[in-house]
Structure 1
Amino acid sequence: MIENGKKVTIHYTGTLDDGSQFDSSAGRDPLEFEMGAGMVIPGFEKGVADMEVGDKKTINIPAAEAYGEKRDEMVMEFDRSQLPEDLEPEVGMGLQMQGPQGQPVPVQITEVAEATITIDANHPLAGQNLNFELELVSVN
């Protein structure tokens, strides 16, 4: 078992259940994170914990251990007058809102009507089971 506090370096490719790839370290430096520090989703850390340097394996992370289920309350409708005048909203466009403590919250426009827009503040991977091909490069 890799102990909390150890620095782990790992190559990965992430896919959804339909086989589409959403992220990969291929062609760039491997991902480095500290075990137990909450730097990666819980299921990813759990999948790496029993690996040894040089090991390769595939893990499946259910949505609950990844980015959680999609939450309806994170989908909101706003009056278009609240947008900057020079912004022409389009479905799929990413915007940044401010959270309760002033922190940036990325959102995506999911619907554009004449007077309103609908945005979704769920993580883009919320509600998705994630699959990762892992290769442990180093543990320090």
Structure 2
Amino acid sequence: MTEQLAEITSSDEVTLHFAIALCDGTVITTTFDDDPVTLTMGTGNLTENLEKTLYGLKPGEKQSLILEAENAFGPRDEEKAYFMPRSSFPSDMELEPELVISFATPAGDELAGIVQELDEAQVKVDFNHPLAGHDIVFTVQIISINNP
């Protein structure tokens, strides 16, 4: 049941278009040229900070906000970049800077790391979100809201 006058609240299923861009205009991701996405609020489909910007919006509304790094994907944390022995990686893996590698956590989750630098003995892998430390422009257009 879609409420055409409803505002987005927690647990709503929301169909929307969105775009994330850097403040210099570089588009990181967008759905505006494709099909909209449907997500359920509060389930982690969007970061908590991005989700907060959606509350109160209604179908048909569009907004574009500049979010400072700490209110978007957080500040960059140099302690999340580690040197690892090169022997920790498969010998046939072609390592190079900017390569994204998926690592398994002890809890069984997956965590992406980005190779920053390497030499014969070690590899520096950054586990920060790729947009950590960047101010972003978050644009959304709400298509519909379904309150289950």
Q: Give the TM-score taking structure 2 as reference length.
A: 0.85
Shift of 1:131: 0.8
Consecutive unaligned residues in structure 2, runs of 5 or more: 1-6
CA distance in 1, matches of 2:8, 2:32: 23
Shift of 1:96: 1.6
Residue 9 (structure 1) aligned with residue 11 (structure 2): no
What per-residue deviation string (whole Å, max 9, x for no partner) do you get for residues 22-79 of structure 1?
0101232212222334431223222221222111111122222322111112101112
Q: Give the TM-score taking structure 1 as reference length.
A: 0.89
Residue 113 (structure 1) aligned with residue 148 (structure 2): no
Task: For 1:17, give the aligned amino acid.
Answer: C
In the TM superposition, 1:51-62 aligns within 5 A as: 51-62=57-68
RMSD: 1.6
Task: For 2:64, give the aligned amino acid.
Answer: T
What per-residue deviation string (whole Å, max 9, x for no partner) do you get for residues 108-132 of structure 1?
1000112211110111111112212
Give the secondary-structure state (helix, strand or coil) at the position aligned to 2:79: helix
CA distance in 2, matches of 1:37, 1:86: 37
- Among 108, 115, 133, the alignment partner of 1:102 is 108
CA distance in 2, matches of 1:65, 1:42: 9
Task: For 2:139, give the aligned amino acid.
Answer: E
Alignment correspondent of 1:34: 40
Provide the identity percentage. 29
